[in-house]
Structure 1
Amino acid sequence: MAGYIFTLNNIDSLNKIIEDGIYSTNLNIPKNNTWKPHHEGTLADYLSMTEGDNVYFFIKRKIYGIGKLITIAGDCKLLNFPKADIPIVNDYKNLQDKMILNSSEENLKNRFLCTFIGAPAFFKEGIDMDDVLESNPNAFKMLRVLWKLSFIKIDDIENKALFDMILKSNEKYINNHLFHFNFSSNMHNRVKQLYNEEYTLNSKNTLILAAQNNEIKHEMAIEASLIDYIKKNSSGIFGRWDYLSHQVVASPFKPVDYMDKMDVFGYRFIEGYKSTISKYLVVEIKKDVANVDVVNQVMKYVDWVNREYSYGDYNMIEAFIVAKDFEMEVIELKDSIAKRNFTQGRRPPISHEWSNLRLIKYSYNIDSQQLEFEEVI
């Protein structure tokens, strides 16, 4: 399973969130009633959540765990109130009874939420970040860039290393509830009582707000919609992917403000074997017309995935560029630019050629209010 690490300010917040079994990011609503890219990026992160993913919390250099996302009603991620995905300032008194998190007017900032339980428990003993990183240096990639982020998603390998570290450190407390944070079912029961289809989290309203005729004004809105589309259409043009992540850092050792991030990263397992990865996904998105520079950019990400994940086997990588359209030069030169030669085996060595980059046009269907995709052949 993958994992999510949520950043908090203090232990009081941690106590309350674990007691409720609900996490929600605070989002300030823009004055012009338009989602900004970071709002759409947060939505994309929530849309990538899957029941069973592990949950951790980070406070002042310490990581606390362990939980997992569960579906209380509908899904493991929801809207806090109907139309919470529309960026308008709501009246708290009129909306309070429909809000899942509703203790104060501040909860109007809680637009998206996820539900979780301890698995096996949230231990009061936090683990120092440096100790975690030193426990398995080769496993941790995203954890090293947690600074200044509200939360991050970690892959199965990184999650397993973190899970093992926290569980081993708390082995003597596994069945001792005195060393666990408390949980109450009250808020989960509230989710059950309030839930209906109006609390469903999807990308539809975000697309509507970002649409201009059949184009989308924000790349981040396309990212959110693409993740939503892939999770719901495993037999669609992009295929099935068991893990999807938004904005993966592909150059983790640069200063934080200059990190190079690929838009969507993912992988799928061999059918029936959840511990063996079959393919890796790389997606670069452009809201307008893509040029040759975009091809060079996505190939940089392909090389990074090959180096960090597939370890020399380019054939494990499937790459896509999603754009409104493509310059003719891109279509003509794709097969020569987006190519890698590599060798596998020793006795005898076998030469291979990778050319698995696909060009996908997007368009916004005004009637269905959804994105549609067409491959450029």
Structure 2
Amino acid sequence: MAGYIFTLDSIDSLKKIAETGVYSTKFKNIPEKSWRTPHEGTFVDYLSMKSEDNVYFFHKRKIYGIGKLINIHNQCIFLNFPDADKPGTTTFDVMKDKMLLNESKEDLNKRFVCTFKGEPFLFKKGVDMDEVLSSNPNAFKMLRALWKLSFIKIDETENKALFDCILKANESRMDGKENSYPFDRKVHERIKNKYTPEYSVTSKNIVKCAVKNNNIQHEMAIEAAIVDYISRNDSNNIYGKWDYVSHQVIASPFKPIDYMDKMDVFGYRYIKGYNTISKYLIIEIKKDAANIEVVDQAMKYVDWIEQEYSHDYSMIEAFIVASCIPDEVVKKRNESALRFYTKGRNPVETLRWKNLRLVEYQYNQKENHIIFKEIAPIE
């Protein structure tokens, strides 16, 4: 399972969030007509959340936990009020009775809501960031980038390392209730009773707000559509089913923050019935027509995944998504997107990886969603 680390401004916020079992990012400077890229990035992170994922909280260099996302009406993410995924402001008096979180007008800035509980407990004792990183240095990649971000998503390996570190630090506090925050189900019950499909989270309005003259203006909006598309496990999903999906994954975790190189979408799937990774996924997105340089960019990420994760090219599935894939890009893919590798000993088997797929997207204004179509399938 994955994990999420949320940044908080005070211990009082931690106490309230832990007791209510609800977290919502505060949106600042909400635009009137279209979302900005940071807002869209936050939406993508919410769209990728799944029940059973762990949650943690970061404040003043300490990480607190441990929580677990839980479903209400078969989902763990909700709009705080109908049309909360559309930009623009409204008034507290008008929306108060429709809001899931409605203690004050400040809650109007809380657009998305996720639900969780302590699992096993949300401990009051936090663990210093340096202690966490030194507990398992090889496991942590994304955690090193937790800098001026509202929250980040970490993969299974990193999540397990963080879970173990916090649990070991609180081993002597497992019995006493005074060492963890209590949980009051009142807000969860409110969500359960108020829920209608109007509170469900999809990518449709996020994409619609990014469209101008029938063209999508932001790559992040396309990421939202892809993550939503994959998460729904549609039978016509050309990307396949993936158990873990994240966006903006850091491909060079030890470079200075301003120079970090990021792939757009990263994921993996398990062998059915087992907690063993079968395949890794990368998707590189271009909102306009692809150029030949994107092939080398995608292959750089393929090589990085082979070196850092799979150590086996056959475990990698890669995609380039763009509004148009010109013939020159298809030719470049056919010539350059190729890797030879070996397996076994006595005899050694030489194998060929050629699994970079090309996908064109089109916005369907009538249906208000993105259509994906693979072109030039690999022979």
TM-score, length basis structure 2: 0.96
Residue 226 of structure 1: SS of its match in structure 2?
A: helix
CA distance in 2, matches of 1:78, 1:122: 22
CA distance in 2, matches of 1:182, 1:233: 36
CA distance in 2, matches of 1:230, 1:279: 15
1:167 aligns with 2:182: no
Equivalent residues, number = 375
The one-letter amino acid paired with 1:50 is K
The answer as to whether partners of 1:314 and 1:354 remain within 8 angstroms in 2 is: yes
The answer as to whether partners of 1:6 and 1:151 remain within 8 angstroms in 2 is: yes
The one-letter amino acid paired with 1:332 is K
CA distance in 2, matches of 1:143, 1:116: 21
Aligned to 1:109: 109
1:21 aligns with 2:56: no
Deviation string for 1:83-138 (max 9, x for gaps)? 00000111111111111111111111100110000001001111111111111111
CA distance in 2, matches of 1:56, 1:327: 44
CA distance in 1, matches of 2:135, 2:30: 42
The unaligned stretches of length 5 or more in structure 2 are: none
1:298 aligns with 2:301: no
Aligned to 2:263: 262
The one-letter amino acid paired with 1:267 is Y
Cα RMSD (Å): 1.2
Residue 95 of structure 2: SS of its match in structure 1?
A: helix
Residue 246 of structure 1: SS of its match in structure 2?
A: strand
CA distance in 1, matches of 2:69, 2:147: 23
CA distance in 2, matches of 1:108, 1:157: 36
CA distance in 2, matches of 1:191, 1:32: 27
Following superposition, the deviation at residue 352 of structure 1 comes to 1.5
The one-letter amino acid paired with 1:47 is L
The answer as to whether partners of 2:33 and 2:209 remain within 8 angstroms in 1 is: no
Which has the larger displacement, 113-122 or 28-37? 28-37
1:247 aligns with 2:231: no
Residue 207 of structure 1: SS of its match in structure 2?
A: helix
Aligned to 1:132: 132
Aligned to 1:315: 314
Q: Provide closer, same or farther for how the CA distance between residues 338 and 28 of structure 1 changes in structure 2, counting only shifts above 3 A.
A: same
The unaligned stretches of length 5 or more in structure 1 are: none
The answer as to whether partners of 1:214 and 1:363 remain within 8 angstroms in 2 is: no
The answer as to whether partners of 1:82 and 1:98 remain within 8 angstroms in 2 is: yes
Q: Provide closer, same or farther for how the CA distance between residues 191 and 160 of structure 1 changes in structure 2, counting only shifts above 3 A.
A: same
CA distance in 2, matches of 1:264, 1:53: 18
Residue 25 of structure 1: SS of its match in structure 2?
A: coil
Following superposition, the deviation at residue 231 of structure 1 comes to 1.0
Residue 86 of structure 1: SS of its match in structure 2?
A: coil
Aligned to 2:84: 84
TM-score, length basis structure 1: 0.97
Following superposition, the deviation at residue 257 of structure 1 comes to 2.0
1:360 aligns with 2:350: no
Residue 26 of structure 1: SS of its match in structure 2?
A: coil
Following superposition, the deviation at residue 338 of structure 1 comes to 0.9
Following superposition, the deviation at residue 59 of structure 1 comes to 0.9
Residue 87 of structure 1: SS of its match in structure 2?
A: coil
Q: Provide closer, same or farther for how the CA distance between residues 256 and 238 of structure 1 changes in structure 2, counting only shifts above 3 A.
A: same
The answer as to whether partners of 2:80 and 2:99 remain within 8 angstroms in 1 is: yes
CA distance in 2, matches of 1:203, 1:234: 14
The answer as to whether partners of 2:76 and 2:114 remain within 8 angstroms in 1 is: yes
1:341 aligns with 2:340: yes
Deviation string for 1:216-263 (max 9, x for gaps)? 111110000100001113531110100000111111122212211111
Aligned to 2:284: 284
% identical equivalent positions: 58
CA distance in 2, matches of 1:57, 1:217: 33
The one-letter amino acid paired with 2:323 is K
The answer as to whether partners of 2:32 and 2:89 remain within 8 angstroms in 1 is: no
The one-letter amino acid paired with 2:246 is S
CA distance in 2, matches of 1:17, 1:148: 20
1:195 aligns with 2:195: yes
Following superposition, the deviation at residue 74 of structure 1 comes to 4.6
CA distance in 1, matches of 2:327, 2:160: 45
The one-letter amino acid paired with 1:167 is L
The one-letter amino acid paired with 1:223 is E
Q: Provide closer, same or farther for how the CA distance between residues 278 and 31 of structure 1 changes in structure 2, counting only shifts above 3 A.
A: closer
CA distance in 1, matches of 2:162, 2:283: 27
Residue 157 of structure 2: SS of its match in structure 1?
A: helix
Aligned to 1:37: 37
Deviation string for 1:180-231 (max 9, x for gaps)? 0122111111111211111001101111111235431111100001000011
Aligned to 1:272: 273
Aligned to 2:327: 328
Following superposition, the deviation at residue 348 of structure 1 comes to 2.5
CA distance in 2, matches of 1:112, 1:214: 27
Residue 321 of structure 1: SS of its match in structure 2?
A: strand
The one-letter amino acid paired with 1:266 is G
Deviation string for 1:307-365 (max 9, x for gaps)? 11012x11110000010001221111212111111222233322111110000000011
The answer as to whether partners of 1:29 and 1:35 remain within 8 angstroms in 2 is: no
Deviation string for 1:269-304 (max 9, x for gaps)? 01111x100000000000100011111111111111
Residue 301 of structure 1: SS of its match in structure 2?
A: helix
Aligned to 1:59: 59
The answer as to whether partners of 1:363 and 1:373 remain within 8 angstroms in 2 is: yes
CA distance in 2, matches of 1:102, 1:33: 24
CA distance in 1, matches of 2:318, 2:214: 25
